[in-house]
Structures are given as C-alpha cells and as structure tokens.
Amino acid sequence: MKVGILAYQGSFEEHALQTKLAIDKLHLNADVVPVKKPSELNVVDGIILPGGESTTIGIMAQKLGVLDMLKDKISSGLPVLGTCAGAIMLAKEVSDAKVGKKSQPLIGLMDTTIIRNYYGRQRESFETTLDFSTIGGSTAKVVFIRAPAITKTWGKAKELLSLGDNKVMVQEDNMLATTFHPELSSTTIVHEYFLSIIKK
C-alpha cells in the first residue's frame, strides 16, 4: 500500500509522521510518499490533502497538472483525506467568512458547504477535545488553525463528528474531510480510520 501526501505547502511532514505511526499501530505493510506531479499520483492507493492555504495548494496542483487528475481519480474511487485546506478543496460549495464567495481552483466533489476562516484568523485558532468514539477512538485534543466550518451536508455526505452546530468530520464514500488538524493531534485515530478506507 502507498499513501500519498500532496506536498506543495502546509503540514505534509506532520501528516507523514502521523500516517507512519498509524501504519505501525495497525501493523500494515505500507509506505508514505510525497506527491507533487502526475506520475507520483499514479502510484498511490490513497491521498492526503493537508492543511495550508487552499488557494495556493489549488493553484499549484492546477499548474502542475495534478488537480484534474485528482478529480478524476477521486471520482473513480481513490480514497482521499482532506484536512482544513484539503476539506475546502473537496467541497462543492465554498465561501469566505469575510469576503463571501471566492473563486479558487477546487476538486469540488463532496456534498458539503464550507466557510473558510469561519472562526476568525490566526489569532482565533484554538484547541479543544473531541470524542472519536464514532470511528473507534476515544477523546483526544485537536487543533483548529484558521479553521473552516462545514455548515451543510447533503446527498451521501455523512457527519462523523461535530462541534456546536458545525460538522468537523464528514465522510462521503471514499472521501473523508476534517476541519481540524489531525496531524497535530494526540491521537492517530483519524489516520487509522483513513487507512481502513484505503484497505477496503
């Protein structure tokens, strides 16, 4: 098994470390590889879209010929975990808390509405405890950094975790999205759950 991490910008190194810890915990025969170009995307069994700046990541992916390929592969069943900026890239409907609708390159396959910078800018970032029992884990601290909020789901998109009125972890078939940063968490449960999706 090969797990790819889109490695243009953002927390891809932290995702690689957390994925390796999850692989060891599950005793899997798997490698974690960076993905920057189409040939690297072609050999992975699942892909992680990390946090960072969603517009920058989308522009880079588009420029290097990876964005359309991601759309095709994900729509054909390639498992994907989108965290924070990655969750924004997966959503069908995106707006910004300050400026409203914003044009940016997106994958746009998930039946979700997401609002960028929902909780505010960098200084409004926060840490909280979530209950991961819905995916086989326990409670753990997670970090929200300039976090978006998933305010609406429809179709096959299902809420797995919420915080107040907003959904913070959603799954639609082979697509998994979180608005927090699981790679900075005290638990590997999100990466373990994603690996279980790849294994199916």
Catalytic residues: 84, 181, 183
Enumerate the known binding-site residues for L-glutamine. Answer: 52-54, 116, 145-146
Structure tokens at 85: 């900026």
Q: Where are the beta strands (DSSP E) in the chain?
A: 2-6, 31-35, 46-49, 80-83, 91-96, 100-101, 110-116, 126-131, 139-144, 149-153, 158-163, 166-172, 175-178
List, in order, residues 6 or more apart from 2 with CB less than 8 Å away. 30, 31, 32, 33, 43, 44, 45
Enumerate the known binding-site residues. Answer: 52-54, 116, 145-146
Looking only at the bridges linking them, the beta strands covering 158-163 and 139-144 are unpaired
87: enclosing H helix or E strand: helix 85-90
Q: Are 107 and 74 in contact (CB under 8 A)?
A: yes
Amino acid identity for residue 185 in this structure: S
The sign of the CA dihedral 83, 85, 86, 91 is positive
